[in-house]
Structure 1
């Protein structure tokens, strides 16, 4: 298993106290907080958490205090204060908080990004094509700079100013995209925006799967839409997402079924049918394999957390 983490002695420190304070004002107890700015969510945990299967969407994750870890395929990614995590394509991951306490809880945020806005902004900035090396990496960890911390604080502070937020939030989000494209995360985003690049074609296939996960999926047809041979498509898909197209679809189905049972209270049989399973027993087996417990037991455990 590969570990990817920054050497704390070599990473230039940027103060994130102000960012932590801004998050803490709106996230005053443990939980995940959706905000009036639809792309922005805030997160707080006072202790390490159990590893959780989830889908990371295209976006920027920042930890202002504490530490987090994500497992993508066989690679372990660690990040903490002063670092940002850019997810360039929707990915199934196992994520958890590794550092947090009652005195210094983990405080973080997630800002989802718009791929069309990234492509448009990259074109307007007339940025060069990304270098062939290093290859596209779907998750990158980079050091925050003071200017990025500042715009993130300003974005959060808009939650106190709803009259201004509707006008200023899109401008601050645009500034964040510009800074990402011009900064160390830029080459990965430019891979995503480059017309005809394998990463862009796989991103489109992933977007189709997210919208159509309950339908029967034929890899050969997906490959044709991506203008790749089936073998090349499978190779690129696995290298970028860390899994096969079939396994990716399965994780999407099981994640959605879990959410239906947890949020809407539907039973396992109905959830299985709604996400595309014809066999309840197959659904239960695959659910248990992914989440470590049968559907009812898993949902009960989640509600007690």
Structure 2
């Protein structure tokens, strides 16, 4: 099957099951559809490890000052929790942006790796935790077969076949350009895994004052090595990462609990309301109140 015909089939299935603009969970574990019927404004999210296959339209993702554009038949891979800014740049009512997101499970990746001969696996030093690749026809075919299970009449088809096809997708990713990123997700002692543990520590303590020395010790790295690898993977320093997490969490609190900016800022670790409002406006482009009012009318892409 030619690459574009595979993409057309993927787009047709996603159009059928993407019920609304934004992200929609499917009956297949870890699989979501994403749709937008118009270009979007920049959307700040904390993107978890996943691979996103674009079937229609075009999108850009920003990590710090780096821009990643992707369109069919490309896919985006994220190997560690990253605060990014996503923006659909090509979409319409007649031809919406359509994407399939498969969340990456380290345990499943590890199982697949154990069945691959070590000589077939690639290895490389830690790299940025986000990248774009072009999907070969064999990989796209597996993705289409996975999402086609949404049409299955028997639940048992999805229960039995979906895990098998997910493993095939991971296998084909391991045999391609993104092998190193997948391996690093799975290996407990990899540098990416250590940075992942540091990210988890910062996320769980985002409202507290953290010392980089303590985080480095927690993941068994020297401070200099930790700084270097953290910036390599996330494109920012640990304190810059914590600031973005704080501001995104404050945004969620104001949306979900209708908190005022001062209260939300205090809850995420800010002592000065003016500093919180200043840094919030710098990141999101609007004051906290104006930004939250605007967000209430936007689809959820998380």
Name the TM tier (shorter chain): 0.7 to 0.9
Question: Gaps (5+ residues) in structure 1?
Answer: 1-11
Q: Take 1:209 and 1:140, find their aligned partners in 2: how far apart are those partners?
A: 23
Distance (whole Å) between structure 2 residues aligned to residue 194 and residue 28 of structure 1: 37
The CA deviation at 1:194 is 4.2
Q: Residue 143 of structure 1: which of 126, 134, 139 is its match?
A: 134
Q: Cα 1:169–1:266, aligned 2, differ >3 Å: closer, same or farther?
A: farther
Which of residues 209, 229, 236 in structure 1 aligns to 2:202? 209
Picking from 65, 69, 78, the partner of 2:60 is 69
Measure the CA separation in 2 of the matches of 1:181 and 1:187. 8
Counterparts of residues 214-225 of structure 1 (less than 5 Å): 214-225=207-218
CA RMSD of aligned residues (A): 2.3
Within the candidate set 206, 210, 221, 1:228 is matched to 221
Residue of structure 2 equivalent to 1:163: 155
**For the residues of structure 2 that align with 1:127 and 1:137, how far apart are their CA atoms?**
24
Partner of 1:277, secondary structure, is: coil
Structure 2 CA distance for partners of 1:50 and 1:192, relative to 1, 3 Å: same
- Alignment of 1:121 onto 2:112: yes
Q: Is the 8 A contact 1:130 1:191 kept in 2?
A: no
Shift of residue 200 of structure 1? 2.4
**Residue segments in structure 2 that go unaligned for 5+ positions in a row:** none
| Structure 1 pair 33–244 and aligned structure 2 pair: CA distance change class (3 A) | same
User: 2:237 matched to 1:253?
Assistant: no
- TM-score, normalisation: structure 2: 0.87
Residue 179 (structure 1) aligned with residue 172 (structure 2): yes
Return the alpha-carbon distance in structure 2 between the equivalents of residues 273 and 124 of structure 1.
49
Give 1:39's aligned residue: 30
Q: Distance in 2 between matches of 1:15 and 1:168?
A: 20
- Superposed counterparts of 1:90-105, under 5 Å: 90-105=81-96
Partner of 1:3: none
Change (3 A) 1:273 1:175: farther
Equivalent-residue separation in structure 1 for 2:166 and 2:202 (angstroms): 27
Alignment deviations for residues 14-47 of structure 1 (CA, whole Å, 9 cap, x no partner): 6300100111001244332223334222111122
Distance in 1, matches of 2:92 and 2:243, equals: 35
- 1:9 aligned partner: none
For residues 265 and 36 of structure 1, the distance between their equivalents in structure 2, rounded to whole angstroms, comes to 32
Trace 1:186-205 onto structure 2 (pairs within 5 A): 186-205=179-198
Separation in 2 of the partners of 1:278 and 1:55? 24
Greater CA deviation, 209-218 or 39-48?
Answer: 209-218
Distance 1:80 1:239 in 2: 25
Deviations 1:174-217 (A, max 9, x none): 22222211222212222343453322211221122233323332
Residue aligned with 2:118, SS: coil
Q: How many residues align?
A: 293
Higher RCO (CA-CA < 8 Å; seq separation 6+): 2
